[in-house]
Structure 1
């Protein structure tokens, strides 16, 4: 297969933990051709979507981990699979990129995750489609509604709809300390919609990342455990990742969502679960492949490339 990765600059990869690198390494090990390009390298001309791509060879070296062939313009429809692995921010540039990828699909490209499905599943708001699995949640920009929700539940988490890595997340306890200021900041005085959820005390045991590949759950989650007085378990916010077998409830959530999301064109999804509750559905560039593999011995990248080969037409 000819596999193209739409990713951030390769020089920025921390290959000891990067999930996209793990995908590339597994694909290369199987003899697939690996290419890479950035979103800015795409172009639409005369109805055809192309990109300036580089053929990537993995060296096995920890520092200079790849060599790149000469850049060449290729129609995206020439690839057997295109993997959308660009990290957020999910801004309008990101959206424009999904439009180009969607056009490329019409020209024969197979894109994973499907561009329209990425747009349709905001990583915070997507949980609203599965209310039976979530803690009490409110989405609004209205201060009165936000205050009423806090008054009802007493201990809440407020967060922006476009954040990643735990940025912009606040906890407000029953005393309401700084609630007004936090609402003003997050909503930009009522101009931005945010999410507020009842605080889930089980966060102290970790914010679990459950990977679902081709509709099926990886048998281990990565519990990202907050450190010290921090309420966020995100690895980017200093959380410690601990791989652990899925609980009965974890598997119940993953098996309920997996086939539904796979049918919508989402080959790889990262479900975030705290305690018994679904908190996010990550579809842009889910991570934690290497942490789970290193600690559990389960080869996540192999499971992913198996699913990619099947979806791309190569069993």
Structure 2
């Protein structure tokens, strides 16, 4: 198929091509002859009943010094594309939400958008886990100082993190009796003006925060366990965690089974879930990573599986139009 692919991402000039999952998908798409239209959120706009993008036709190369080349800049009608990859990293802010509204109009014209704009908007990566009460740790979502302190008393040790960040940013471990409890809560909630999420501390973090990739409801059989450095509570690679590729467990499969139908129903076709011990802690839907790390160790063609899935979805959409 002669496929036109749009990608909305952070500046391609700033990515690490040795680790960037979006770049891996673009390389595979180019191999298959896709025409790639590169855009950032600031390039998406709505005018006179149509959605447009200020795009650049993109060529990518696995070259650590010059990994991309822009061929031509042109304004395109987004409805002329076959698929759009929405791969903007958090923070999840109002600008991101506004963009999903525009993309939802595009989706209604028959363009495949990964992931579904409505679900990107509605399924906060931290809060979404609360739909699966039996497989998550004790959880509190609040900006009330008294409630957070009460939660600490009940659980002895907790993890507190913002609802809109990624990569281990602003994650705190708080223990009962910690003299810094009040100041941490004030900082995290901006003096009770911002929600945060708290979960009971899971000591199994020492074995890793496991990232499991799910494509159209089906998990990749190996995951990346991100193991914290000594003295750290964050396993995120961006925070210095060490990645260890390992097979997923029966419990991991059980967790995937509990959520896979919901993911597919909501149009979340490429997802990365985080599991610590026996608990689901996050469902990453905006720009899941760790493709390259797992592929290098296992030779599982994750990128090819994703692009295969995209081609099949586009084929079905085009067949319905006939």
Q: Same fold (TM over 0.5)?
A: yes
Q: What's the CA shift string for 1:28-80, capped at 9, x where partnerless?
A: 11222222111111111101001111221223433212221111111111111
Q: Distance in 1 between matches of 2:23 and 2:155?
A: 42
Q: Which residue of 1 aligns with 2:273?
A: 271
2:237 counterpart residue number: 235
| Match of residue 187 from structure 1 | 189
**Which runs of no fewer than 5 residues in structure 2 stay unpaired?**
318-322
Contact kept? 1:217, 1:255, Cα under 8 Å:
no
Determine the C-alpha separation between the residues in 2 that align with 1:286 and 1:314.
25
Displacement, 1:19? 0.2
Q: Does 1:15 align with 2:17?
A: yes
2:179 matched residue in structure 1: 177
Instruction: Say yes or no: does 1:2 pair with 2:4.
Output: yes
1:244·1:296 contact (CA, 8 Å) conserved in 2?
Answer: no
TM-score (normalizing by structure 2):
0.95
Number of equivalences: 315
How far apart, CA to CA, are the structure 2 residues paired with 1:70 and 1:31? 17
How far is the alpha carbon of 1:276 from its aligned partner? 0.4
Give the CA deviation at 1:314: 6.4
Following the alignment from structure 1 to structure 2, what is the Cα–Cα distance between the partners of residues 65 and 187?
Answer: 40
Check the 8 A contact 1:216/1:259 in 2, yes or no. no
The one-character-per-residue Cα deviations of 1:110-166 (angstroms, maximum 9, x if unpaired) are: 211011001111011011100111011111111111111111110111111112111
**Shift >3 Å, 4+ stretches:** none
How much has 1:270 moved relative to structure 2?
0.8
Measured on the aligned residues, the alpha-carbon RMSD in Å equals 1.3
Q: Is the 8 A contact 1:207 1:233 kept in 2?
A: yes
- SS of equivalent to 1:167: coil
2:301 is matched with 299
Q: Is 1:213–1:269's contact at 8 Å kept on the other side of the alignment?
A: yes
Q: Distance in 2 between the 1:258 and 1:306 partners?
A: 19
Aligned match of 1:63: 65
